Every structure is written in C-alpha cells, then in structure tokens.
C-alpha cells in the first residue's frame, strides 16, 4: 500500500506540470496560408509534368546517362560554362537541333538559345511580376516584356499558353518559393550567315 501512495505522490506533480501548459491559446486556423501552400504544391506539380526541368535544370552525366543537378534546379544554362564548339552548318541546315552536354543550350536555324534561370534570384525571375510571367508564357515574349524578342526554340510557349490563369499563378508562386540560384544566363546568339 505504501508503494501505491509513493507512486501517486510522485505522479501527481508530474501530471500537474503537464497540465500547466495546456492553458495556451490555440493558434487560429489560417485559410490564407493553407491556400498559398496548396497553390505552391499545384505549381510544383505543373512544373514537373510540363517538363520545365528538362531544359531549365543543368544535367550531370552518370552511368545511367544525364541526371538533373538538383543543386542547380531550374537555374538554366550555367553562365560559367563556355559554350563548346559545334557544327554550325549542321545546326543551321534546319535538319538538326543540337543540345549542349548539360541540355540547357540548343543550337538550330535560330542560332543558339540558352535555358533561362527560373529561380527567384535577381539573375532569374527574382524581379519579375506575375504579369511578366504571364506575358512570357502566353505571348512568347522574352523576359515577359511585350516589346522584346520572341522566345526561341526549344521553349514550347505555344503549349504553355494553354495554361489557365490559375495554373500560371500557381507555377509562378512555386518558382518564387524554390531555392534562388545566382546565374546570369547569356543572351541568345544569332545565327551565323
């Protein structure tokens, strides 16, 4: 009987201490935060199924072939990597399009195009507005500026123009939420005549 009394006497203070913290006010449910998180998850899904990383994420060569370099996820053509030599005659013939080893630069009759940095760094989408992003996807305009040059192949903006406004906003919010990567992608190179 004495043992039971001791156990109760020892357990009682522990129970009281445990209950002391339960008077805290519960945090209100934040519908706006949940909606934002849901939008970001939708954007991640769309970026994945649209294959944005296929061109905008540099690759590393492995025994299984090229694999995405997730440290540079969606950072575009590596500005520190000089463009290797390629057969301009073959590229400009219109019969071939050639890709760089990292799969982030493409050469063809249009010249050489470089995959853009889609991260929220200032060298990427960091200073873009949703309207700039919408203009780039819907109208195929470089940097989302109406008066700029067209986006070059292989960017399939004509397909992405079919995204709903909600999808474009979700993609934009997701891209603004990923890790920023400083990488100022070079300008496109015009075809050699």
- From residue 96, give the alpha-carbon distance in Å to each of 49, 111, 135, 174: 26, 12, 29, 34
What average pLDDT does the chain have?
89
Question: What's the distance, CA 27 to chain centroid?
Answer: 32
Per-residue pLDDT tens over the stretch 19-61: 555 555 666 667 777 777 899 999 999 999 999 999 999 999 9
The pLDDT score that the predictor gives to residue 45 is: 98
Q: Assign 3-class secondary structure to 28-70.
A: CCCHHHHHHHHHHHHHHHHHHHCCHHHHHCCEEEECCEEEECH
The whole-number average pLDDT for the span 92-102 is 89
pLDDT class of 156 with cuts at 50, 70, 90: very high
For the chain, domain boundaries:
31-177
The pLDDT score that the predictor gives to residue 105 is: 97
The pLDDT score that the predictor gives to residue 46 is: 98
**What tokens appear for 43 in the block?**
């954007």
Burial class (CB in 10 A: 0-12, 13-18, 19+), 174: buried
The pLDDT score that the predictor gives to residue 135 is: 98
Query: Of 145, 143, 163, 160, nearest to 76 (Cα)?
Result: 143
The whole-number average pLDDT for the span 131-149 is 98
Q: How far separated are the first and last CA of the chain, in Å rounded?
A: 101
pTM > 0.75:
yes
Burial class (CB in 10 A: 0-12, 13-18, 19+), 72: buried
Contact 115, 150 (CB under 8 A): no
pLDDT class of 89 with cuts at 50, 70, 90: confident
- From residue 65, give the alpha-carbon distance in Å to each of 61, 68, 82, 138, 139: 5, 10, 21, 33, 34
């Amino acid at each position: 009987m004495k043992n039971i009394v001791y156990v109760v006497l020892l357990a009682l203070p522990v129970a009281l201490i445990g209950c002391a913290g339960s008077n805290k006010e519960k945090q209100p449910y934040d519908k706006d935060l949940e909606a934002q998180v849901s939008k970001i998850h939708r954007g991640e899904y769309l970026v994945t199924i649209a294959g944005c990383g296929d061109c905008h994420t540099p690759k590393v060569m492995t025994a299984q072939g090229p694999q995405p370099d997730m440290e540079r996820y969606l950072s575009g053509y590596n500005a520190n990597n000089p463009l290797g030599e390629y057969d301009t005659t073959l590229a400009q013939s219109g019969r071939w399009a050639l890709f760089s080893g990292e799969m982030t630069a493409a050469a063809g009759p249009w010249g050489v195009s470089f995959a853009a940095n889609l991260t929220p760094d200032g060298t990427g989408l960091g200073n873009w507005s949703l309207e700039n992003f919408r203009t780039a996807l819907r109208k195929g305009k470089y940097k989302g500026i109406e008066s700029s040059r067209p986006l070059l192949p292989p960017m399939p903006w004509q397909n992405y123009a079919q995204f709903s406004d909600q999808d474009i906003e979700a993609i934009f919010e997701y891209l603004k939420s990923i890790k920023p990567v400083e990488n100022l992608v070079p300008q496109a190179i015009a075809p050699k005549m």
